[in-house]
Homo-oligomer: A and B are copies of this chain.
């Protein structure tokens, strides 16, 4: 919608762990029976309407409801790339967000037929999402330098985040070359993805040349969403599912998992990788950030 910024050289959106709406302090007992205080992440319902139609109620940490709403609709094929959004109305008291478009919309029939996807195995996609998936052609000239990959994972692991503050949260990031442009967090991994999709739509960020990063597993749903967004490279510190690998190979997506410290594993599209990094200069993760070294994490 807005023209893209040609001079992107630093992060546009990063988590704000100091936002008091996002966490709460609670007291409990630790393993020695001592009373301790801990930060826990908030989750609140957000009901999404597209024009006059109620679409879904999501549980979210509540930041960026506008991007979340747009991204959800885009990733479910309810909003088209050429749609003109005339208004996004967020009512924080009612926990409602309404997206209004120039085009009249009606997804009553579509909302009745869902298919669950993997991950938490509670994800849902609609039949036409798979149809669109099969039509996407990803750019073949994209490159991933391993030095960019290490810069990206270092930024994610060390920049202030709700994860480091309170844990129990997923993160997704969009980067270009060695720079992280967007880093969004949410209790739901899918929400974090959708917020990035919504931001890209709202601000006209092109997917070509971008790298998508997730803390979560590389399941079918993550692969489908990344391909739908037109992004050629998907990286995760977590593992793979077989269907995720199959879909990535079918779409020609570069799929990199288990990216921790200097290690990673590419199971699709490895021809895009340029091994330029000096591995002896890439450290293992220190204890603080190793917390994120999850295998079970999506």
Chain A contact residues, CB within 8 Å of chain B: 23-24, 26-33, 36, 38, 40-45, 56-60, 112, 115-124, 146, 163, 166-171, 186-191, 215-220, 238-245, 257-258, 262-268, 270, 273, 275, 279, 290-298
Contacts of A217 in B (CB 8 A): 168, 187
Which of chain B's residues have a CB closer than 8 A to the CB of A57? 115-116
Contact A32 B119 (CB under 8 A): no
Of all A-B residue pairs in the complex, the 5 with the closest CB atoms, nearest first, are A121-B188, A294-B294, A168-B239, A120-B120, A167-B239
Residues of chain B contacted by A122 (CB below 8 angstroms): 119-120, 122-124, 188, 190
The one of B120, B263, B296 in contact with A119, judged by C-beta atoms closer than 8 angstroms, is B120
Asked whether B187 lies within 8 Å of A238 as measured between CB atoms, the reply is: no
Q: What separation, in Å, do the CA atoms of A170 and B30 have in the docked complex?
A: 25
CB distance from A59 to the nearest CB of B (A): 4
In contact, A58 and B116 (Cβ under 8 angstroms): yes
A38-B265, A116-B57, A123-B122 known; A163+B295 contact, CB < 8 A = yes
